[in-house]
Amino acid sequence: MTTDVINPSTGQVLTSVPSLGVAETDAAIERAAKAFPSWRAVAPGDRARLLRRFAAVVDEHLEELAALEVRNSGHTIGNARWEAGNVRDVLDYYAGAPERLIGKQIPVAGGLDVTFHEPLGVVGIIVPWNFPMPIAGWGFAPALAAGNTVVLKPAELTPLTAIRLGELALEAGLPAGVFQVVPGKGSVVGQRFVTHPAVRKVCFTGSTDVGKSIMAGCADQVKRVTLELGGKSANIVFADADLAKAAASAPASVFDNAGQDCCARSRLLVQESVYDKFLGLLEPAVKAFRVLEPSDAAAEMGPLISAAHRSTVASYVDGAEVGFVGNAPEGDGWWFPPTVLLAHGPDDRHWREEVFGPVLSVLPFKDEDDAVRLANDTEYGLSGSLWTRDLGRALRVSRAVETGALSVNSHSSVRYWTPFGGMKQSGLGRELGPDALLGFTDVKNVFLAMGD
């Protein structure tokens, strides 16, 4: 059985890939389980060298991977180069981890007490279609560094770069069975990761509803999970902010990757005293946002991932009050223009639900307390931004907004050396940074009694 892979820019079939069943998935998991004892026994320095070699091989194929992502996912070439480079950088970062996975010596009476961070075993990673390369790397790099083996399921729509990364891992010298890519349906391959007893942890990035079902399934075996789920992030602009800078940066914060980003700042809160002025600054920035063929180096945004998803995004605009609209190519492909909607209140559907497209909802607020109330009035809590020149306000609001990552006077969400993850129904656990490694280990405590 195979699945066609479509180019979102043209709507044409690129290629087809195998869609594996339960038997093939079980075989991959069994290979990973068989490879685990020898992989965990690899000396820390040798495991580090293999991961650095993997990073170097990715770097050698960076342009190939980027071009593949442009065709498969419709990402702009600039974004795709960053994404391939992020895989390299995350591998390099966690290549330093095997030699630094340090336990503790705890003072106790009657002997010596020490702790070890032991790898879990087989880790199943389920990757979404919106950022196929980076999110894969955020899972497999620390998992491998900690001594686990990995089976990775790419999204059905965007499997090509993951399959290539699996090939590059073998080229870099990772032993067979240590890192495998298993393409197929989530209901088959992903579900088998959840139910197979040899898989000791599942990492999932995707919708909140699917994440809940995975968490419930893992509970049956008390299986570890890391979940990075939906988002409806707020971008809060106070009257004392640098309004020109905040307006100029707002389009990229929500329209990057065509809005197909859980961190997209899709709720724009503007203090009412500068609301009209800010919209006047925002409109030309939106209309200047370059939606082009994604292989064009000048492109800031490409198409949506599929025709079905384009219809879903359009349903949020139908019947809403449109403030202004940017430009997008016409003709073949799943294009959608950057769109700004004016919210009449926090109950508007486009304000409350994750659109996952290039649609920005705007709502005024009165004061600091009102801004925090509106920002927190959501089931999500993944990322966000606030703009102010008042340092005290920046600290107060940063602490008060219920979100896992927040930026002041910027829209940064992801740095591979700092933790990333959500609050509330945006997920649990943290990826990236120094602590992500511990999520792929168990702490073992050993007490050595001392005789007289």
Q: Tell me which residues are annotated as active site.
A: 228, 262
> For 267-390, where are the alpha helices, taking DSSP H only?
275-287, 307-317, 349-352, 368-376
- Determine the distance from the C-alpha atom of residue 202 to the mean position of all C-alpha atoms in its chain, rounded to a whole number: 15
- Determine the distance from the C-alpha atom of residue 126 to the mean position of all C-alpha atoms in its chain, rounded to a whole number: 11
How many angstroms separate the Cα of 73 from the Cα of each of 7, 20, 136, 144?
7, 21, 15, 26
Give me 168's structure tokens: 């590059």
DSSP 8-state secondary structure symbol assigned to residue 291: B
Residue closest to 119 by CA, chosen among 99, 96, 142: 142
Which amino acid, residue 117?
H
DSSP 8-state secondary structure symbol assigned to residue 8: T
Beta sheet of 441-449, edge-to-edge order: 105-106, 111-119, 441-449
Residue closest to 231 by CA, chosen among 269, 263, 268: 263
DSSP 8-state secondary structure symbol assigned to residue 6: E
Per the CB < 8 A criterion, the answer to whether 106 and 134 are in contact is no
| Cα gap 208→206, rounded to integer Å | 7
What are the residues facing 149 on neighbouring strands? Answer: 122
Q: What is the DSSP string of 114-177?
A: EEEEEE-SEEEEE--SSSHHHHHHHHHHHHHHTT-EEEEE--SSS-HHHHHHHHHHHHHTPPTT
What are the residues facing 361 on neighbouring strands? Answer: 267, 341
